[in-house]
Amino acid sequence: MNQTIELLCRHTSIRKFTDKPIETEQLNAILVAAQAASTSSFLQASSIIRITDSNKRAELVKLSGNQPWVGEAAEFFVWCADFHRHQQIAPDAKLGFTEQLLIGAVDTALMAQNALTAAESLGLGGVFIGGLRNSPNEVVELLNLPQQVLPLFGMCLGHPAQQPSIRPRLPQSLVVHENSYAEELDGDQLAQYDAKVRDYYTHRAGADKIMSWSDQITAILAKESRPYMQSFVQSQGFATK
């Protein structure tokens, strides 16, 4: 492997940060790297809201489910799918199609992953914050987001004050299919992976939960997952057709 691949494989989510700020030069480099990501049809259908207002940051802590690192990280960004910019350029643009929601979500995720990888290459760390979707209407109001701008997730960035162990990923045999989808799940491979995940949780600092991956996804998928999202997405002008 080379240094780039090694960096990618060392990724962990950082939720504890020092109080050291990110240098302006570093921040600019991270954002340049973000904008260098692939973009569908060169639409560049994303915007980033950098939160520097302490009151707004404190409110976003609450709206994200009281995640303290949202307020403690040196930087916090809200990543948005954005076709409002396009609408201003082309007032007669045909918007609202579900395909545009997918384009905006994919473009934005690619940008954000580029940003996090760039940050990690500089010795920084971060974590994605999907909890913003707990209160999406309140996020829209707080950040004054117009129609055709959809807040997808947040991101904390800063200097790490912890070194979490790397969570084991699924074996490639359960993820990579060749030529067609293999519908039958390999039970032996899954059992081995479940044992590995259980062992990881058992020995992880804090050990706040001990379960297999199958246990975890069963618990998560047994409950509703933000059932209001469809109406919210449509209220912002996305996926109306």
Residues 198-217 pLDDT 10s: 999 998 766 678 899 999 99
pLDDT score at 1: 85
H helix or E strand, kind and range, residue 85:
helix 84-89
Return d(Cα 211, Cα 206) in angstroms, integer: 14
pLDDT at 195 over 90: yes
How would you label 39-64 residue by residue, b for 16+ Cβ within 10 Å and e otherwise?
beeeeebbbbbebeeeebeebbbebb
Domain boundaries, the chain: 3-164, 172-217
The correct answer on CATH 3.40.50.1970 for the domain covering 3-164 is: no
Mean pLDDT, rounded, for 215-233: 95
Q: Over 166-215, what HEC string results?
A: CCCCCCHHHCCCCCCCCCCCCHHHHHHHHHHHHHHHHHCCCCCCCCCHHH
Percent of the chain beyond pLDDT 70?
Answer: 99
pTM, two decimal places: 0.95
Residues 17-44 pLDDT 10s: 999 999 999 999 999 999 999 999 999 9
pLDDT at 170 over 90: yes
pLDDT score at 217: 95
Mean pLDDT, rounded, for 3-19: 97
**Band of the pLDDT at 180, cuts 50, 70, 90?**
very high
pLDDT score at 206: 64
Mean pLDDT, rounded, for 91-104: 97
- 114, 46 in Cβ contact below 8 A? no
Return d(Cα 134, Cα 137) in angstroms, integer: 9
